[in-house]
Amino acid sequence: MHRQELIPHLFRTEFRKITAVLCKLFGIEHIELAEDIAGETFLSALENWPYKGIPENPVAWLYAVAKNKAKNHIHRNKIFTEKVAKQLILGSSTFEDVDIDLSEKNITDSQLQMLFALCHPSIPAEAQVGLSLRILCGFGIDEIANAFLTNKETINKRLFRAKEKLRTEKVKIEFPSKEDIDDRLEIVLTTLYLLFNEGYYSESEDAILREDLCSEALRLVCLLIENKQTNQPDVNALFALMCFHASRFRARKNEKGEMILYEDQDDTLWDQDLITKGSYHLHEASQGNKISKYHLQATIAYWNTRKQDTKEKWENILQLYNRLLQLEYSPIAALNRTYALSKANGKQQAIIEAEKLNLTGNHFYFTLLGELYTDIDDKKGKTKFSTSFVIRKNANRQTNDPKKIR
């Protein structure tokens, strides 16, 4: 990996680990300090590596620098020394002894506890997701703004207020109590689901980055599965969903980074290990009697790991979408349901249903209509496809062009 790619890559994977460990050590009220030290660590890498070369073990280098910076800060900052250092867990020892533990175990524990701290019910769900993306996933503010379809300023304000709230509520970085765990877990799962989607549906040409995001999401869900208290059915269902989707990673884009449609994918490129893993966790998820949206989506994704077009497959997928939409509406689920309907009940019925969807601003809607009219009224089908193209082009002009100019 080249240096230009290496530092952003490490930033994505290591920034949050350093931040989580330091924040756990300092307390949530010093979350910004933890972020700053982690950020300065990467600044050092940017300054040093071009001249001195990439260190043999870049991660160890980053951890060493982060530890030094944290210790220096404790020495240097009088207020911090007097007010905070005293309350550190290792309060009785001298500052030289402060153990900044960047071992794998402590990183894991700190991240899991941070995950729950950030998803505290005192702050709005949206801010929780944003904070988690920032602190636990090392997302840039602009990337978060993109994910929420808003601007950087809004996100900055939202994160600032959320951090204030964490401070005033004196949220502890610890594992939630037994009574709270279900509610808290739900928000955590939403965050991880968004993180995965950010990677999976991103239009970025940076394949490494996209895969990184997905594997990080998988890793965080895995943290929850490895912990006995959070190894719940819906956590397993989400994990299964991610495995099934990720199994198609290598098959869904060509060398140029262009999307390959499901029907045209080379299914020998589908990762069978991930499919097996997903099936195992979907089975684990079937314990208990709660059916979450992740169960339904994972089961749909399971059917999609069977490429063969059978009546059974599409009837199952249709019924799963029928149930999913009752739990939670989304335009994409509505469109996919209508596609499944055309496969299970025929195109004529699907066209009638599609016309009711009222999604005329969505280019996928017209792609679906184009697909449905093909072989029934080809001329109309073509018109729908070109409408889809125009909507998409206009949307790209609005969102993508400024980036290209920069």
Partner 1 sequence: MDEYALIMRHEDGKKIASPEQMERWMKQTMDWIGSIAAQNKFVSGTGLPFDGARVVATKNSKPVVTNGPFGEIKETIGGFIVVKADSIDEAVEFAKGCPVLQGEGNSMEVRRIAKNDGVH
Of the two residues 1 and 352, which places its CB atom closer to partner 1 in the complex?
Answer: 352
* Nearest to partner 1 of 102, 359 (CB atom): 359
Q: CB of 328: closest distance to partner 1 in angstroms? A: 9
d(Cα 211, Cα 214) in Å, to the nearest integer? 5
Give least dist CB 201 to partner 1, A: 21
Q: Which residues within the stretch 307-326 sit at the binding site for partner 1 (CB under 8 A)? A: 315, 318-319, 321-323, 325-326
Closest residue by Cα to residue 274 from 249, 301, 246:
246
Binding letters toward partner 1, positions 325-364, x by CB under 8 A: xx--x---xx--xx--x---x-------x--xxx------
Q: State the nearest-atom distance from the C-beta of 358 to partner 1, in Å.
A: 7
CB 238 → partner 1: shortest distance, Å?
22
Quote the least distance from Cβ 344 to partner 1, whole Å: 9
Say which amino acid occupies 359.
L
CB within 8 Å of 43: residues ≥ 6 apart: none
Q: How far is the CB of 55 from partner 1 (least distance, A)?
A: 54
Restricting to residues 259-278, name those near partner 1 by CB under 8 A.
Answer: none
Are 215 and 196 a contacting pair, CB within 8 Å?
no
Residues 93-132 interacting with partner 1 (rule: CB under 8 A): none
d(CA 74, CA 25): 12
Contacts of 317 (CB under 8 A, 6+ apart): 300, 303, 304, 340, 343, 344
Residue closer to partner 1, measured from CB, 48 or 345: 345
Q: Which is nearer to partner 1, 181 or 357 (CB)?
A: 357
Closer CB to partner 1, 246 or 341, in the complex: 341
DSSP assignment string, 166-235: HHHTT--SSPPPTTTHHHHHHHHHHHHHHHHHHHHS---S-HHHHHHHHHHHHHHHHHHHHSGGG--HHH
356 or 379: whose CB is closer to partner 1? 356
Residues ≥6 apart with Cβ < 8 Å to 348: 376
Cα dist from 378 to 19, 375, 381, whole Å: 56, 6, 5
Does 289 contact partner 1 by CB under 8 A? no
Q: Is 158 or 337 the residue whose CB approaches partner 1 more closely?
A: 337
* Residue 253 β-bridge partners: 259
Please state the closest distance from residue 129 (CB atom) to partner 1, in A.
22
Residue in the block written with tokens 């279900």:
182
Q: Which residues bind partner 1 (CB under 8 A)?
A: 315, 318-319, 321-323, 325-326, 329, 333-334, 337-338, 341, 345, 353, 356-358
